[in-house]
Amino acid sequence: MRIDVLTLFPGMFAGPLDESIIKRARETGRLEFQLHNLRDWTLDRHKTVDDRPFGGGPGMLLKPEPLFAAVESLRRETTRVILLSPGGRRFDQQVARELAQETDLLLVTGHYEGFDERVRAALADDELSVGDYVLTNGALPAMIVIDAVTRLLPGVLGDDESSRDESFSAGLLEYPQYTRPAEFRGMPVPEVLLSGNHAEIAKWRREQARLRTAAQRPDLLQREPAAGAAPKPDERNQAAGSQDPAPKPDNL
Ligand code: 4FV
């Protein structure tokens, strides 16, 4: 996948996309990432990208000319042009899965009070918000989208970094997980997880995922599980009809 980002703050992208999984995705060519400074598409010697809102009001707006010039020079046949702004539809795991099917994205990040409306109306294919809060600019939202989408690209996550069965994959929050030691500071691991009985483990996990979702995110229970979402743990085993060889904790 190719992701281009149009920003006034290219320096903000140094770091978060240069480590770990995203770094490896770039090194292996699974992710092609390119930053572009909006000021490179300004025509005046002050490299002006903003101006006052018609009708008055606080702050400044991003002018249409540099944005249209930049997007029209960067956009290819298959590019999906996405504005990042608090006014967009909510970015979530389902949208991340959707975007991971694309071949190339152009993320247009905001600043000041936002975009001239004609950018939204005539230039963007989509508009996404990472949450109901106001940030200083769209750089962090762009990095959030890049991270969430890149880890879903084929081959980006190694076996031990599976995206299978994780939060939101079945529309539920993730069930509690434990690793060794089986007892820590008087806190034992739930017996069922040490039982080796995979059906019981799957049942417990599903129940825990529901309980946690009901407690923390009841809104998720109203939603239809995302299409193509991973089947619930026990359904997958029944489908597979075999007991996955769950790793045996060393005290068994
Ligand atoms: C934002 C968000 C966000 C608003 C004013 C940049 C800022 C400035 N973008 N999800 N929440 N953007 O707060 O995507 O233009």
Please write the tens of the pLDDT for every residue from 74-115.
Answer: 999 999 999 999 999 999 999 999 999 999 999 999 999 999
Query: Dihedral sign, CA of 224, 228, 231, 232?
Result: negative
Based on the fold, state whether residues 61 and 107 are members of the same structural domain. Answer: yes
Q: Both tokens of residue 44? A: 């005046």
3-state secondary structure (DSSP) of residue 7: strand
Instruction: Return the ligand 1 atom nearest residue 114 CA.
Output: 15
Based on the fold, state whether residues 183 and 211 are members of the same structural domain. Answer: yes
Does the C-beta of 84 come closer than 6 Å to ligand 1?
Answer: yes
Mean pLDDT, the chain, whole residue set? 89
Distance of CA 52 to the CA centre of its chain: 33
Does the C-beta of 114 come closer than 6 Å to ligand 1?
Answer: yes
Asked whether residue 246 carries a pLDDT value surpassing 90, the answer given is no
Q: What is the phi/psi pair of residue 88, to 5°?
A: -85, 175
Q: Both tokens of residue 187? A: 């806190």
Which stretches of the chain are assigned E, i.e. beta strand?
2-7, 32-37, 50-51, 61-62, 79-90, 104-109, 126-129, 183-184, 187-188
**What letter would DSSP give residue 252?**
-
Instruction: Give domain status of residue 156, yes or no.
Output: no
How many angstroms separate the alpha carbon of residue 159 from the centre of ligand 1? Answer: 35
Contact by Cβ (8 Å): 168, 92: yes
Asked whether residue 235 carries a pLDDT value surpassing 50, the answer given is no
Instruction: Give domain status of residue 14, yes or no.
Output: yes
Based on the fold, state whether residues 104 and 177 are members of the same structural domain. Answer: no
How many angstroms separate the alpha carbon of residue 118 from the centre of ligand 1? Answer: 17
Which residues, at least 6 apart from 205, have a Cβ–Cβ distance to it below 8 Å? 175, 233
Asked whether residue 127 carries a pLDDT value surpassing 60, the answer given is yes
Assign 226 a pLDDT band (cuts: 50, 70, 90).
low
The pLDDT score that the predictor gives to residue 236 is 46
**What percent of the chain has a predicted confidence (pLDDT) above 90?**
81
pTM metric for this prediction? 0.86
- Pairing relationship of beta strands 126-129 and 104-109 according to DSSP bridges: unpaired
Q: What CATH code is carried by the domain that includes residue 181?
A: 1.10.1270.20
Residue to substitute in 9, 82, 137, 145 for testing ligand 1 pocket (most ligand atoms within 8 angstroms of CB): 137
Q: What CATH code is carried by the domain that includes residue 24?
A: 3.40.1280.10
The pLDDT score that the predictor gives to residue 164 is 54
The span from the CA of 59 to the CA of 50, in Å, is 10
Instruction: Give the number of domains in the chain.
Output: 2
How much is the average pLDDT of 3-7?
98
Instruction: Give domain status of residue 161, yes or no.
Output: no
The span from the CA of 181 to the CA of 189, in Å, is 8
Tens digits of residue pLDDT in 159-203: 666 665 566 767 889 999 999 999 999 999 999 999 999 999 999
Based on the fold, state whether residues 61 and 140 are members of the same structural domain. Answer: yes
The pLDDT score that the predictor gives to residue 221 is 87
Domain that holds residue 137: 2-150
Instruction: Return the ligand 1 atom nearest residue 129 CA.
Output: 10
Tens digits of residue pLDDT in 33-72: 999 999 999 999 999 999 999 999 999 999 999 999 999 9
How many angstroms separate the alpha carbon of residue 198 from the centre of ligand 1? Answer: 45
3-state secondary structure (DSSP) of residue 214: helix
Based on the fold, state whether residues 57 and 146 are members of the same structural domain. Answer: yes
How much is the average pLDDT of 220-233?
62
Instruction: Give domain status of residue 244, yes or no.
Output: no
Instruction: Give domain status of residue 59, yes or no.
Output: yes
Peptide bond into 181 cis (omega under 30): yes
